[in-house]
Structure 1
């Protein structure tokens, strides 16, 4: 494992320990509503602080973009993008689908990624050009051709209700052609699952960079494709994501494109 990934793993495990410490005591937590349907708890904040502490100990000059703390000043050629608890709503309801997500972007290229599910003790790691791994075992996307018999992941645009009608139309376009569609509520894990072959494809509207930075590298390193709704590599800018193996990726793009509003095609 690359030394930088080891640092990220240490940070993710520190956050995971905090997350598990309170997972049976969520009724005692202080919970704030950042915006409609977007919650943050003291666990999110404490876990993020633990991650930043580990990163800054090893790389004091690097900058950090965290979901809760925002951007910290530092060397912009080396920026860590972190989500201390992807799936906060799941966590607060005792639904065990959440994870820590950490990625390092070096000179605008994502070089290392860690996604850690502390509840299931599953550690996904990836480094550019070195493959993707689950608990140190190599993982690959599925080799499915077409959408028939596939299992596709997605996410409802609950933070962007203006896109709900459009999303429903894309759902209608995909639904008849696949075995099933799953909405588990943690995009980082959805992308990690895709990399591990548990899902065949994925699409979602309006993600943030910390939701997908680590997962995007995992998908690529596992042999998959990821892009925005126009098939470009601007998903980190637009927040709109399609991913899968080569054929599934193309098929999802083809099915949803006629139903996208003009602003989602940019």
Structure 2
């Protein structure tokens, strides 16, 4: 049941990717136009995406579906299956011509994420996961490697004010100093999580999560690659918190010991 659904999702995410890339190229031309309004441009993209996604899903499920468009997501409900699609994660990068954005799809059955996809249309990198069946990048199995001190530690973080406010009373400065940690803020949460699963980065921190729909696809891909996600004190019910910490088990222990 789930593999045909993955194939459908791959087709959908690539169709969305082709549309996004086409508009990325148009954006390259429009950005030099003095009359150009990025808000109007994004609204036009969003309207076209509604038409594309609606047509695809009506062809799959006939008309027995509910399609919602809210908070940058398309939510498609059919019986006990819910598709959560973020068609452009990294919208500011897209507008500023920074080539780092993605599309994500999480397919939930009875409120459990069963299939996840994150697609970088510029690099043609497709990250996928099926619950219990491991995670892959372009068909190759992913493994979130064990961190050791000899390796450079690259951490992706959002809302880094957390690290610099005295009132938080944390000791991450020593962690950065002693482990030669590099910090990046990329602008695309989904790609950050996918990069963690692919061992391109070692750790992900976010203390300002307001909508967990952004995490659903990356969450499954990380877990199926052997990574873990907790809150800042090591609890796994991080969805009741506004913060997450993701990485391999020993790197999570390392970070938590410094918070």
TM-score band (shorter)?
Answer: 0.7 to 0.9
Distance in 2 (alpha carbons) for counterparts of 1:62 and 1:230: 40
Partner of 1:10: 11
**Where does 1:79-158 land on structure 2 (aligned, <5 Å)?**
79-145=82-148, 149-156=152-159
Q: What residue ranges of structure 1 are gaps of 5+ in the alignment?
A: 34-38, 158-163, 257-266
Distance in 1 (alpha carbons) for counterparts of 2:247 and 2:22: 35
Tell me if the contact between 1:15 and 1:48 (Cα under 8 Å) persists in the aligned partners. no
Greater mean deviation of Cα atoms: 42-51 or 103-112: 42-51
Distance in 2 (alpha carbons) for counterparts of 1:253 and 1:54: 44
Tell me if the contact between 2:158 and 2:208 (Cα under 8 Å) persists in the aligned partners. no
3-state SS of paired residue (2:17): helix
Distance in 2 (alpha carbons) for counterparts of 1:78 and 1:43: 26
Residue 236 to residue 17, structure 1, CA distance change in 2 (3 Å):
farther
CA RMSD of superposed structures (Å): 2.8
Residue 144 to residue 210, structure 1, CA distance change in 2 (3 Å):
same
Greater mean deviation of Cα atoms: 92-101 or 135-144: 135-144
- Give the one of 206, 210, 215 matched to 2:213: 210
Residue 22 to residue 255, structure 1, CA distance change in 2 (3 Å):
same
TM-score normalised by structure 2 residue count:
0.81
Q: Which runs of 4+ in 1 moved over 6 A?
A: none
Residue 69 to residue 230, structure 1, CA distance change in 2 (3 Å):
same
- The count of corresponding residues between Structure 1 and Structure 2 is 243
TM-score normalised by structure 1 residue count:
0.79
How far the C-alpha of 1:42 sits from its partner, in A, is 3.0
Tell me if the contact between 1:216 and 1:226 (Cα under 8 Å) persists in the aligned partners. yes
Distance in 2 (alpha carbons) for counterparts of 1:89 and 1:131: 31
Distance in 2 (alpha carbons) for counterparts of 1:252 and 1:30: 43
Residue 250 to residue 9, structure 1, CA distance change in 2 (3 Å):
same
How far the C-alpha of 1:134 sits from its partner, in A, is 0.5
Residue 43 to residue 233, structure 1, CA distance change in 2 (3 Å):
farther
CA deviation string 1:67-99 (max 9, x = no partner): 436656653x32222211000000001101000
Residue 197 to residue 217, structure 1, CA distance change in 2 (3 Å):
same
Partner of 1:23: 24
**Where does 1:141-180 land on structure 2 (aligned, <5 Å)?**
141-145=144-148, 149-156=152-159, 164=161, 166-169=162-165, 172=173, 174-176=175-177, 177-180=179-182
Tell me if the contact between 1:51 and 1:84 (Cα under 8 Å) persists in the aligned partners. no
Q: What residue ranges of structure 2 are gaps of 5+ in the alignment?
A: none
CA deviation string 1:155-183 (max 9, x = no partner): 237xxxxxx3x343466464223431111
Partner of 2:197: 195
